[in-house]
């Protein structure tokens, strides 16, 4: 019994420091440089379960680098990243398994042009994450149905609009039922008239309780859809608060200057 007790205590301690039932992501003192270029200079923040956090900041401020560190596409130089209590910045971790716990969508449409929608959505789940073909296809069809695109399952990407392609990419990112969804400027390459349908899908995911970190320049959406806004400036967190606090009430001159460009 003594062993059981101490294990429980350890779990509790670990949970308090690095987890807590509802703490999905903890980024703690993360630093990342490329050569002399210090891109992330000690970044710390938490994301709780079901939270939607928008990540704002000038281009070059380190938003994509931060997301790539969370998704293990880059290794941090210093600091830790915890995903539901696991230190995923530990280099000994199984990167493929960890990536299946995080969904990612980038700015550029990442669909393979020579594969139909169904193949695009299922491929990674089957090849990388070890889901059976039958299960993957069933899940893919459910996801496509949810976004009203089941009739596009056998369509090739070049026959879809950019907005539809991005929605397929989002559906694909949900195949492994990720604990966290990273969206990196997913509407930046779209025609303005196609932005709305993609943001609408993000809003629906939020309504379903998906935990999301989203880098965007869509200020209205960042304001309306986010529970919290983080402003990154030169690789440091300049603001972390409610949309109202960060986008309207901040007295920080650099913050005010940044948002003045979008009014």
- The answer to whether 186 and 108 are in contact (CB under 8 A) is no
40 vs 147 by CB, closer to ligand ADP:
40
- How many of the other CB atoms lie within 10 Å of CB of 242? 14
DSSP track, 206-234: HHTT--EEEE-S-HHHHHHH-SEEEEEET
CA distances from 116 to 122, 138, 141, 165, 235 (A): 10, 15, 13, 11, 39
Number of residues that bind ligand ADP (CB under 6 A): 11
Please tell me whether residue 24 binds ligand ADP under the rule CB under 6 A. Answer: no
Of the pair 64, 166, the CB lying nearest ligand ADP is at 64
Of residues 48-107, those binding ligand ADP (CB under 6 A) = 57, 59-65
Would you say 63 or 167 has its CB closer to Mg ion?
A: 63
Please identify which residue in 24, 54, 61, 64 interacts with Mg ion, judged by CB under 5 A: 64
Q: Which does 61 bind (CB under 5 to 8 A by kind): Mg ion, ligand ADP, none?
A: ligand ADP
Contact region with Mg ion (CB under 5 A), list: 47-55, 57-65, 85-93, 123-131: 57-65
Q: How far is the CB of 149 from ligand ADP (least distance, A)?
A: 29
Place of tokens 């604990």: 179
The CB-of-146 to Mg ion minimum distance in angstroms stands at 28
Point out which span in 5-13, 33-41, 76-84, 100-108 binds ligand ADP (CB under 6 A).
Answer: 33-41
DSSP 246: I
Q: Which residue is closest to Mg ion by CB?
A: 64
Q: Give the angle subtended at the CA of 97 by the CAs of 94 and 102, to the nearest 5°.
A: 120
Enclosing H/E stretch for 68 = helix 63-70
For residues 59 and 251, which CB has a smaller minimum distance to Mg ion in the complex?
A: 59
Nearer to ligand ADP, 64 or 98 (CB): 64
For residue 209, give every residue at least 6 positions away whose Cβ sits within 8 Å of its Cβ, in sequence order, or none: 49, 50
- Shorter beta-carbon distance to Mg ion: residue 52 or 214: 214
The Cβ of residue 181 has, within 10 Å, a number of other Cβ atoms equal to: 21
The yes or no reply on residue 210 touching Mg ion (CB under 5 A) is: no
Q: Does 230 bind ligand ADP (CB under 6 A)?
A: no
End-to-end CA distance of the chain: 62
User: Angle at the Cα of 155 (from 206 to 128), degrees rounded to 5?
Assistant: 60
Query: Is residue 36 part of the contact set for ligand ADP (CB under 6 A)?
Result: no
* Binding partner of 211, given ligand ADP, Mg ion, none, CB within 5-8 angstroms per partner class: none
The residues binding Mg ion (CB under 5 A) are 63-64
């Amino acid at each position: 019994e003594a062993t059981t007790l101490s294990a429980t205590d350890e779990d509790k301690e670990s949970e308090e420091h690095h987890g807590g039932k509802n703490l999905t992501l903890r980024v703690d003192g993360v630093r990342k440089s490329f050569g002399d270029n210090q891109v992330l200079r000690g970044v710390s923040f938490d994301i709780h379960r079901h939270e939607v956090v928008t990540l704002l900041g000038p281009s070059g401020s380190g938003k994509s680098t931060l997301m790539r560190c969370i998704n293990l596409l880059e290794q941090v130089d210093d600091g830790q990243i915890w995903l539901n209590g696991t230190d995923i910045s530990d280099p000994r971790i199984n990167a493929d398994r960890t990536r299946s716990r995080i969904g990612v969508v980038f700015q550029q449409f990442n669909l393979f042009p020579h594969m139909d929608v169904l193949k695009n959505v299922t491929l990674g789940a089957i090849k990388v994450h070890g889901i059976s073909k039958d299960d993957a296809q069933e899940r893919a069809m459910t996801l496509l149905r949810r976004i009203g695109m089941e009739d596009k399952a056998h369509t090739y990407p070049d026959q879809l609009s950019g907005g539809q392609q991005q929605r397929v990419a989002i559906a694909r990112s949900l195949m492994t039922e990720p604990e966290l969804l990273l969206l990196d400027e997913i509407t930046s390459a779209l025609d303005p008239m196609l932005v709305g349908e993609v943001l609408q899908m993000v809003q629906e995911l939020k309504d379903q309780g998906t935990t999301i970190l989203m880098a965007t320049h869509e200020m209205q959406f960042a304001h309306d859809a986010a529970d919290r806004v983080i402003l990154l400036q030169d690789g440091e967190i300049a603001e972390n608060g409610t949309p109202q606090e960060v986008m309207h009430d901040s007295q920080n001159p650099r913050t005010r200057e940044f948002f003045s460009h979008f009014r």
